Amino acid sequence: MSAQISFLDGTYTLIHIPLDLYTTFLQPILRVLIPQTARLHLGADFTPHIDELDGLSDKNQHVFLNISVTPLEASIVCHTSWAKHVFEPIINTLPAQQARTVSVFADSYMVLSVIGAGLDAATRVLELSSPLALAGIPIFFITTYYSDFIMAPTRERENVIAALCEKGFEMSENQSSSVTTPTYSRKNSESYHTSSPPGTPPPSTDDELQLRTFDLLHKRDISPYVDDGLELVQCSGREISQLADAYGHRSSISRHVVTDNRHSWIENVDTKLYASLISVLVSQPRFISITLAHEDPPSLLIDKKLLGLFSDSLVGDMDNILIPIFLDLLNLPSEVTGIICGVSGRLVDDMKMTATSELSYLSTARAGVVILPEEQSTRALSILKPPLQMKE
């Protein structure tokens, strides 16, 4: 079975919030996390078609949303209308010096959802990012419990489709929404040619891309590091259909309400999970990444120390400890391409990863996070650091 790549509805905005302003933005973060609160803001004349509620499904759930709090920053990916109506008003109240430290990316982004049944865990980041990097298309990448998500500038839509097709991907019947991937090897992916964007032509092979990536990181003095003692767990909230079995309090009456009151957000989510999420966000956690996509249950990548706050509202392998390796990209422009592919390619090559190996990636607004099992992280760090510590 091949991987399925679908374009999600809407355009999205990426926001960088420095940690010293986190508490200032906590209220808008919670407002976006809980879109039901928009009813209060809009008043009695609520209608799901009002511009402020763009980006929601017919159950008032986000088509896509990512909230990440890391040791480097808070990073938000939300529908552009929510960035405009919820975050920008707060930015406009800040003193000019503080406002300049918050970044609302000028580009609007499209989000591609990848169900990677045809890609093994070790190489899926590389196989998905390589065609776009070789075409000179800047992307952000988010691995979740169920799916992978790729963000690319909306203006690059046709180039994204062309790059995927040119690298051996095939369009499905619905050309406007999805593409499918056949099985192909990394070697013959290099035999396809891509057109060069204005400026410096993109690299023609993954090896060249790796060299350019590490040369850039070295010149900008960007070295990967781990945050001592930080251990992560990838997990998920429960499917709504599982809640009655898990908690035993969803009666036939409440299920009837779900059917008949489609626009009631609170009837379509696990309120126990959201209470825990609010508690965690209020505490300004060391690390949490929340991804909401309307076709998946909520996905979380969290500091292991936070698990106790969620009781039994999470599912997943809580014993599979993951270590994040951070790349602070604050001083690189968002248009830079190839970081994800270059870094993942170096690890896949040098660690000789097999189909049973794990490699995940989280792009935040101003950082990249390589995520590996605990036993592989030390080796990965030793591979990534030497190319960045060469003498001038």
* In a domain? residue 145: yes
* In a domain? residue 179: no
Higher pLDDT, 166 or 132: 132
In angstroms and rounded to an integer, the radius of gyration of the C-alpha atoms of the chain is 21
Q: How many domains does the chain have?
A: 1
| pLDDT in the model for residue 171 | 45
Please say if the pLDDT value at position 217 is more than 70: yes
* In a domain? residue 45: no
Cβ atoms of residues 102 and 21 within 8 Å: yes
Please say if the pLDDT value at position 117 is more than 80: no
- Of the pLDDT bands very low, low, confident and very high (cuts 50, 70, 90), residue 130 is very high
* In a domain? residue 289: yes
Higher pLDDT, 82 or 242: 82
**Rounded mean pLDDT of 381-386?**
87
Place of tokens 């990181």: 217
Model confidence pLDDT, tens digit, residues 258-285: 444 555 677 778 999 999 999 999 999 9
Q: CATH number for the domain including 379? A: 3.30.2130.10
Highest mean pLDDT (candidates 2-6, 220-224, 352-356): 220-224
* In a domain? residue 197: no
Model confidence pLDDT, tens digit, residues 327-374: 999 989 888 889 999 999 999 999 988 776 889 999 999 999 999 999
* In a domain? residue 191: no
* In a domain? residue 303: yes
CA separation for the pair 379, 17 (Å, rounded) = 32
Number of Cβ within 10 Å of residue 259's Cβ equals 8
Closest to 124 measured CA to CA, from 344, 307, 383, 331: 344
Tokens, residue 26: 């906590």
Cβ-in-10-Å burial (0-12, 13-18, 19+) of 359 comes to buried
Percent of the chain with pLDDT over 90: 58
- Of the pLDDT bands very low, low, confident and very high (cuts 50, 70, 90), residue 118 is low
CA separation for the pair 314, 300 (Å, rounded) = 9
* In a domain? residue 312: yes
- How far is C-alpha 270 from the chain's CA centre? 22
Cβ atoms of residues 368 and 340 within 8 Å: yes
Q: DSSP string covering 28-49, please?
A: HHHHHH-GGGHHHHH-TT--TT
Q: In which domain, by residue range, is 16 found?
A: 4-36+54-174+203-247+269-384
